[in-house]
Structure 1
């Protein structure tokens, strides 16, 4: 790379990983609390590591088998890039490494957060948030560093060429790194979601509803599995999810930048480097924003939210102010247009976050209306929650629509016919939205740490003032977790749009590889394949709404989103059923458990959740892999584009609905437990617990997994584009 500012990216990755290490060591030095707190923390950590060990063993076999298949396709048939087996394995490895580091941090931090809450709320917030920052900075540092490494290696090894398509080949080849990251993320998200919700639903139904014991009561046999699940789903799963979103957005934008400026070599280099530079700048400013998050003793929910918002908003604002200066030094083409695309992405992310907060926080009317409806029973609470979730899709969809249009027009210089540069603007908007992921993910990962801290405080029998502080941190964590899910879903929508455009660039390369150097369009018009724009490819493949292949494929994509959600929800139901049976069995076999004179068999419940998660995650994952592969072979390029459009449009709206419904039910229950509408033990509370139980798989399994589904399908379609071009029926 000849752009000097490109080196800001690897430097920022090193700085981010360095601060992650500093924050981790700072957390390790904190007091772990009483012997009981240490024992409970050890139980949770052992369960989490056992789950990861089993999952990574399965993933090792899956990745090895797929890498061998890709090697045969690459070296035996020439249908794949010869880099694919290696980049695929590397993407999966670093995604798994990010999840492992996150799990270690979260399980070590929760007990220390509870111990700190014995003295003050600000200390508890500092430890939980700085530990979340370890996870955020590790994900971003590893992601950016890996993407930079593979770009440099493949750029160095690709021979020079006279036309501008060399960098297109380089950047689309590097994009295969995202396939390994996406597949690992899907297994982590689906498996983690099934694990955590099987334990949570089992613990709630038998413990709170049937036995009438409090949440996180040590007498509940599923309580340790429930605490393990918070880390498995919301730390390892979310970390892997956003790792592949982050890498995918940077690499897709880089590939579209190379394609948009093939006739201007220096502009092309700047366009390829710009996403890396934006990501590096955002990482450095995320580190600065982390130091702004602090609060006072006795802070209420609004003040705690403002403390987190101060850090995230400051980071986003400084990225917005600094990026035009960076673009000026890079001599970027259409400088203010690209800046407008970055601004559109950042603002879209903020709007989605605020919309999600409004829909799910107990400080706002939608969630409070669910709590009020719970006074009339579980049915009205469920109806109110479903309605809230459906209505909550409006603002995120409008934000993404508006942000996409503004980013496209900005990137195209407000010339709607300039499709390639407009799509580059959309891809840059996705990078802009994720540029401050270091601190955004810190706010999200804070949630499960605070949740586990509350569980530790309850099981350790700490005083009511400590539980009040951990409840405040936990309630804030519920909101930040819901906001983080909304942010992840929104970024997935923009990234997937960029990946669909990138698919056509890979199709161009595959056509040239098989020797098709000319495209015959309508009315006898012939265009050179290397010079054709994206509109020419749409004409050549007849990608229009009048083509029945495109139409039926759109329906197939929409169907895949619903079938995938149904499979993951059914999986949670089956796994939770096993947990319910086990908890009931233990209560019946040993009356001393409820009397508090004997300890439950926590290990058995952990084993049930672990085995169920590993077994049940296979079928949904196979659906995500086989759908684009089958459509590539049967329906070709038009079918693939229709499939991806259907899955993206339906999957995005469905994911927002599922996540926000579940988040609102959860916080409605918390709102009642805080003393409203009768408080704990009331009829409204029992109804809210049922609503929360129904919402659990929606917000923590099906909803979050959908954003990985749409991106993984796009990545797989890109990877097997050679099949769609050469072997399609």
Structure 2
């Protein structure tokens, strides 16, 4: 049997099981008429936003298709690149769209299931998250399989070595489409969700003193819509891009490592194994009725750990069968698998209120907003140390275990395959992440529908868990982005050598183009973070003004005798997100081309290295600071340090408001930035080499 066939089989299996889970979720009742009405308003807002976003992004893709087609006609690219770019973007956007559809169908059903028991609510929310996870890996494998088998047929007359080289070179380029779509989805969705969240919290909770998700707050529906378009659709597109990026970059590195078809087969089949392991892991996610964080976290962790063990066992037999003389590749896979789980645990430690760091942060609220903001920034900076060590250890281990000491290119292949190993559990890891926004929405619907207190208690427990799993998911996404970006940098250097076999890199640190590139690359994540945070701030100001206006002008609103205008806040967020997401995206696309034209390919290599290092650290810091601020607020709301409405609570809300764009807009978008820079560099390498000023 051709083992490569396992990739499309795994794709079909993932999509079929996702369909089954979606069917099981939608069979559940949405609850009362009021719950259905609120859920429908959230669905309409999310659909309207995505429709407008995809319409705008379509224009960008048409323009880029024309540019890529012109480069292909000029001989700088193969004719497949424009179409690969389009399919990469299409499947990335589709994975986010389908994930959002199930999330908006599951929110009221989760709240209604929580009326029965905590475990029932957990199962509905988790199953909807599993749909997201399996759709991402299913569509990713489908896209990869279609291109692999088509190109294998197209180049059938070439000798095997040349054929596999042409296949991997062409496949590498469709990651640019996936990265571009992911960036728009992450940045646009992040601006939408955090503008609504910040506006709702500052005016509703701090100024007016009303509870979170209070139906009197005009921004509450926009906030719930934002959870779906940012944390579900955006995260889905983001991790789709990481997933396919790690696989195609490893496939490309297999050629330089001299592993040929066998080296390409392993990452493709590893992805299929991950599908099966993730599906099995979903059956082990169960909880009792204790609403404690440790109990709920253990329930989700059990599924992830079981999937990891299954992948560990299957990977051993896979490598022994395909590369029996290089079992070091297996240990490289294990290094990535272990690193992914460790980064998830470290992120959990720094962001969950189960552990001391977040509890200590909550205590700083006793002396006001300034100290909790200082404490959150300090915690985020401290939290970068261990993930950097973990990633460094994973890179070193995978490089040398795969045989890097004797064959440098084989070591680079080991780094790539470790990224595939880390992302092999994506089906279930993303399920634990996408579960969070559904639980958050369920809590809002429970509040707005005036369900019994025990229901809100259960949804609050699920929501608090969701904050932790979302933070853990971001840590996992950022860690995998770092490994994937390293593999892509290696693939970039290989691509340059394929274009011009006589070219010799000079990556000496004292080489001016490399040094300048390092500085430019180190600066880009900060520029990008500034642009996205400023965009959230501007949009949030509009929401604050609108919510204040409605509180002041709508007679009877604060008494609960009048209905707020939810649609106006949704429209403000939608328009702001569409306008503000363009500049950060253009920076990511233009920067590597401009650097290449001015500094040459050595300068681009320096830029990619600088952006990867500073971007990884900055993203970890921002995501963990934001996650800890959020859970510190939740810890106080649970009755600690005065509880809801107290001065410490108000200080914690300010901290959480600062952390919102940190953890849900800028932080997670940076990991897409560092991969998109590499993808653009690879696609435009031939054009840059022919037109650079630095020959």
Match of 1:466 in 2: 455
Equivalents in 2 of 1:104, 1:434: separation in Å? Answer: 24
Query: Which of the residues 309, 326, 350 maps onto 2:318?
Result: 326
8 Å CA contact retained: 1:185, 1:241: yes
* TM-score with structure 2 setting the length: 0.99
8 Å CA contact retained: 1:271, 1:332: no
Match of 2:592 in 1: 628
Query: Which of the residues 495, 502, 505 maps onto 2:494?
Result: 505
8 Å CA contact retained: 1:338, 1:425: yes
Query: Which of the residues 624, 634, 640 maps onto 1:676?
Result: 640
**Pair 1:705-2:669 in alignment:** yes
Deviation at 1:163, TM superposition (A): 7.8
Equivalents in 2 of 1:437, 1:706: separation in Å? Answer: 19
For 1:40-119, what aligned pairs fall within 5 Å after superposition?
40-75=38-73, 77-119=74-116
Equivalents in 2 of 1:168, 1:718: separation in Å? Answer: 15
Match of 2:183 in 1: 186
Match of 1:394 in 2: 385
Match of 1:532 in 2: none
Equivalents in 2 of 1:153, 1:174: separation in Å? Answer: 11
Equivalents in 1 of 2:491, 2:588: separation in Å? Answer: 19
For 1:445-464, what aligned pairs fall within 5 Å after superposition?
445-464=434-453
What secondary structure, in the 3-state scheme, does the structure 2 residue paired with 1:677 have?
helix
Match of 1:578 in 2: 542
8 Å CA contact retained: 2:291, 2:458: no
Equivalents in 2 of 1:677, 1:544: separation in Å? Answer: 55
Deviation at 1:591, TM superposition (A): 3.3
Match of 1:664 in 2: 628
- What are the Cα deviations for residues 708-729 of structure 1, in whole angstroms up to 9, with x where unaligned? 0000000000000002221111
Deviation at 1:170, TM superposition (A): 1.3
8 Å CA contact retained: 2:69, 2:79: yes
Equivalents in 1 of 2:373, 2:314: separation in Å? Answer: 46
Equivalents in 2 of 1:620, 1:707: separation in Å? Answer: 13
8 Å CA contact retained: 2:110, 2:124: yes
Query: Which of the residues 466, 473, 476 maps onto 1:484?
Result: 473
Match of 2:209 in 1: 212
8 Å CA contact retained: 1:256, 1:423: yes
* TM-score with structure 1 setting the length: 0.94
Deviation at 1:700, TM superposition (A): 0.3
Query: Which of the residues 654, 658, 683 maps onto 1:694?
Result: 658
Match of 2:415 in 1: 426
What secondary structure, in the 3-state scheme, does the structure 1 residue paired with 2:288 have?
coil
8 Å CA contact retained: 2:358, 2:629: yes
What secondary structure, in the 3-state scheme, does the structure 2 residue paired with 1:595 have?
coil
Match of 1:236 in 2: 233
Deviation at 1:675, TM superposition (A): 0.4
Equivalents in 1 of 2:338, 2:235: separation in Å? Answer: 22
What secondary structure, in the 3-state scheme, does the structure 2 residue paired with 1:592 have?
coil
Query: Which of the residues 529, 532, 535 maps onto 1:565?
Result: 529
8 Å CA contact retained: 1:5, 1:330: no
Deviation at 1:326, TM superposition (A): 1.5
Match of 2:152 in 1: 155
Aligned length: 693
RMSD: 1.0
**Pair 1:298-2:295 in alignment:** no
Query: Which of the residues 272, 279, 303 maps onto 1:311?
Result: 303
8 Å CA contact retained: 2:343, 2:476: yes
Equivalents in 2 of 1:723, 1:256: separation in Å? Answer: 22
- What are the Cα deviations for residues 638-668 of structure 1, in whole angstroms up to 9, with x where unaligned? 0010000000000000000000000000000
Equivalents in 1 of 2:323, 2:582: separation in Å? Answer: 48
- What are the Cα deviations for residues 492-551 of structure 1, in whole angstroms up to 9, with x where unaligned? 00000000010112112222xxxxx5x3xxxxxxxxxxxxxxxxx6xx231211201100
Match of 1:514 in 2: none
Match of 1:527 in 2: none
User: Structure 1 residues 325-334 or 686-695, which shifts more?
Assistant: 325-334
Query: Which of the residues 708, 711, 719 maps onto 2:683?
Result: 719
What secondary structure, in the 3-state scheme, does the structure 2 residue paired with 1:594 have?
coil
- What are the Cα deviations for residues 86-114 of structure 1, in whole angstroms up to 9, with x where unaligned? 11111111111111101110000000000
Equivalents in 2 of 1:502, 1:490: separation in Å? Answer: 19
Equivalents in 1 of 2:609, 2:323: separation in Å? Answer: 34
**Pair 1:172-2:166 in alignment:** no
Match of 1:642 in 2: 606
Equivalents in 2 of 1:164, 1:32: separation in Å? Answer: 56
**Pair 1:339-2:312 in alignment:** no
8 Å CA contact retained: 1:374, 1:688: yes
Deviation at 1:632, TM superposition (A): 1.4
Equivalents in 1 of 2:639, 2:291: separation in Å? Answer: 18
User: Structure 1 residues 154-163 or 430-439, which shifts more?
Assistant: 154-163
- What are the Cα deviations for residues 21-68 of structure 1, in whole angstroms up to 9, with x where unaligned? 000000111011000000000000000000000000001111011101
Equivalents in 2 of 1:110, 1:288: separation in Å? Answer: 24
Query: Which of the residues 351, 357, 360 maps onto 1:366?
Result: 357
**Pair 1:10-2:8 in alignment:** yes
8 Å CA contact retained: 2:25, 2:124: yes
